[in-house]
Structure 1
Amino acid sequence: MRLLLLQLLCGSPLLLSAQTLSGRVLRADSTAAPVPFASIGVKGKAAGTVADVQGRFRFPDSPELAATDSVIVTGVGYRPARLLLGQLREADLTIKLKTQPQVLREVTVRHRQLRPQVLGRTSTSGVAHWGANSIVKDSVRRREKLGSEFGTFLTSPRNCYVDDFNVYVQYNPFRQVRLRLLFYAVRGGRPAELLLSQDIQLVLTDRQRGWIKVDLRPHNLQFSKGQKVVVALQWLDAVGVTPNYQSFDVPALLPSPLHRIYTRDKSQANWKFYPARPSIYLNVQSWR
C-alpha cells in the first residue's frame, strides 16, 4: 500500500468558521504595487495561505486561533511584516512590505579545474510522496494547501558552484502548478535564513511531468565544503484538474535513515522531520 506524505503534511482539514480572514499585500513604496504570492502564516500554527497575483489573500478563521497570535507576512526580497490575528478579524487589512536591502553577490570567475558532481537523489522510485494527492477534487482543501513546504537536507562535500536544480514530478493533474524554490541555511539542524533574495518560481503547465530543471547559474549560488543547506519547494497555486489523474506527487525513498526531509503545513507552522530522500538533486561544479 502506497504511503503518502500528504497525510502527514495536511492532517485533518481545518474546521471552517463563518468568518474568513482576508487582506492585501502591497509594496511599501510610491508604486504601492501588489506583492504576488506573498506568504501569510500564523506563528507556530498550521494556518495561513499565499496571496494571489494581485496580492489578495484569504483563509478561514478557526477556534484554534487566538486574537493574540502573531501573523507574519513574508515575501522573498522583502522585510517580514507582523500583526496580530485579532487585527485581521476586525477589518480587511492592507499590509505593506518594505524591500530588503540586497547585498550584491560577488561575481567570481569559475575555477579552471572544476569537477561535475551531483548532490541529492537522481532515482525516480519511492513509496512516499509529497503533493496534492486525494485533495485535487476538493477546492476547499486545495486552497488549504497553499503555503505548504517540502524540503531536503543536502551537504556539499567540496566547495562548489550550483548549476541547476532538478525535481521529478511523477503525477500532475493540473493545467498549471506554481511552486517556489527556496534555499535555506541550516542552524541547529533546522532551516534558518534564506540564502537567495531572488524569488525563483517553477510554473508547470499542461500536466507537465518528469524531471523539471531550473537553471541557477545566473544566481551565482555557491556552497562551501561541508556546508549544510535545505533545498525546498513551496506550494503557491494550482489551476484546473484532469479527471483521469488523481494526484500531484514527488516520490521519495522511505525509510532512508541517513537522509532527512522536512515538511510544514504553512509558512510559519512548526517543522516536521522524516527519514526520507526525495527525487531532488542539484548539479554542481566542485573544486577542492
Structure 2
Amino acid sequence: MRLIFWWSIVFILFPTYGLRAQTLHGTVLHDSLATPVPFASVGVRHKPFGTVTDAQGRFSFPDSPGLTAQDTVVVSCVGYYPVRLSVPALRRQSPALVRLRPRAQALREVTVRSQRLRPETLGHTGKTGLARWGISSMTPDSTRRDMRGREFGTFLRPARSCYVDSFNVYIDSNPFRAVRFRLMLYTVLDGKPATALLPDDVQFVVRDQRTGWISVDLRSYNVQLDKKQPIALALQWLDNDTPFSERWFFGIPAVFPAPLHRVFGRDKSQANWKTYPMQPSMYLTVQSWQE
C-alpha cells in the first residue's frame, strides 16, 4: 500500500520551477483581426516548459537553463495554424507579439441518425481508485503556473461504429471556484496521442467547488467514431482561480494498477507523452450502430 501511495504522489506531482528574474512573455493575437486569442497553448518542443494564454491572449513562463538555443517554442490553438519561434528569438523579442492565422473550417455535415442505434458507454464509469490525477499541497501562485497546459487522458476503442453524445468525468475533490478545461480527442499512433480529431475548441468550466460527475454535451459537434478505431480522450488544464485554502487537493480517481489499460499525460502542450497502467473515471456516452 505504501508503494502504491508514493507512486500516486509521483504521478500527481510534476516538476515545479523556482521563481526566476527572467521570464518569457508576450501576447497572442488573431492575425487579421488583431484580437486576443485566449487560452492558446505555448510549449517548448519535447520539454516540460510552457503555459497557456490568459483571457487577454497574454502569456508568461519562467526562462530556464534547461532551454537551449536549439529549442523551439510552439504557439497553437484549435482552429489556427501553429507558429514556431526559436528560444533565442523569444528571448530577444520578449514581450513578443505572436499572430495566429485561422484555419479554414469545412462545413460540418448534417447527419440523420438511424433508428438502429443503441446507447452505450465507452470508458470507465467507476468513481473510486487508488491513484489520482490532480494537484495538492502547493502554493497558489506556483500551482497556477505549472498546471496551465497540462494534459491527461485515457485510451478508448469503440466495439462498433458510433456517434458521441457526451463526455463525462468524475471529480472527487475540488477547492476551486472555477477551473477551465479543454476537451481533446486524438488519433493514436505508436501507442501515443497523435492528430487532433475535434475541429472545434471544446472548453468547459467547473464552478463552485463542484465534485461528482461532470457531463459535457457533444451532440452538436457530430463526432463519429469508426469500429475498432483507437482514440485518445484528454483534458487540458487551461486556467483556475486561487483555491480557498493553502492546503488543498484537486483529483480525478483512477484504478491502479490496471495492466490491461493505459492512461497518458504530459506536463505542457509540447512535452513528450508518458503512459501509465491506470484507468481513470472518464467515459463517453455514445450511440452505437447495431450491425
Same fold at TM > 0.5: yes
1:125 to 124, 128, 139: 128
Contact 1:132 1:142 in 2 (8 A): no
Query: What is the CA RMSD across the aligned residues, in angstroms?
Result: 1.5
Instruction: Look up the match of 1:20.
Output: 23
Q: Which secondary structure state, in structure 2, belongs to the residue aligned with residue 104 of structure 1?
A: coil
State the alpha-carbon separation in 2 of the partners of residues 221 and 208 from structure 1. 27
Alignment partner of 1:200 is 2:178: no
After TM superposition, the score normalised by the length of structure 1 is 0.95
Contact 1:6 1:132 in 2 (8 A): no
Alignment partner of 1:110 is 2:84: no
| Structure-to-structure mapping, 1:265-284, within 5 angstroms | 265-284=267-286
Shift of the 61–202 alpha-carbon distance from structure 1 to 2, 3 Å rule, reads same
| Structure-to-structure mapping, 1:1-288, within 5 angstroms | 1=2, 2-3=5-6, 5=8, 7-8=10-11, 10-29=13-32, 31-91=33-93, 92-135=95-138, 137-243=139-245, 246-287=248-289, 288=291
- CA shift, 1:16, in A, is 3.6
Query: Aligned partner of 2:97: which letter?
Result: T
Contact 2:140 2:246 in 1 (8 A): no
State the alpha-carbon separation in 1 of the partners of residues 187 and 12 from structure 2. 22
Shift of the 96–269 alpha-carbon distance from structure 1 to 2, 3 Å rule, reads same
State the alpha-carbon separation in 1 of the partners of residues 120 and 137 from structure 2. 36
Contact 2:45 2:74 in 1 (8 A): yes
Query: Aligned partner of 2:86: which letter?
Result: L
1:54-111 CA distance string (max 9 Å, x none):
0000000000101221000000111110010111211211100011122233221101
State the alpha-carbon separation in 1 of the partners of residues 255 and 100 from structure 2. 39
Stretches of structure 2 that go unaligned for 5 or more consecutive residues are none
Contact 1:50 1:236 in 2 (8 A): yes
Query: Aligned partner of 1:70: which letter?
Result: T
Shift of the 191–228 alpha-carbon distance from structure 1 to 2, 3 Å rule, reads same
Q: Which secondary structure state, in structure 2, belongs to the residue aligned with residue 32 of structure 1?
A: coil
Stretches of structure 1 that go unaligned for 5 or more consecutive residues are none
- CA shift, 1:134, in A, is 2.1
1:121-151 CA distance string (max 9 Å, x none):
110010111112222x341233112100001
Query: Aligned partner of 1:55: which letter?
Result: G
1:175-198 CA distance string (max 9 Å, x none):
111111001111221111111121
Contact 1:10 1:145 in 2 (8 A): no
User: Between Structure 1 and Structure 2, how many residues are aligned?
Assistant: 286
1:27-61 CA distance string (max 9 Å, x none):
011x2111000000000000000000000000000
- CA shift, 1:238, in A, is 0.8
- CA shift, 1:8, in A, is 2.8
Q: Kindly, what percent of the aligned residue pairs are identical?
A: 51
Contact 2:26 2:58 in 1 (8 A): yes
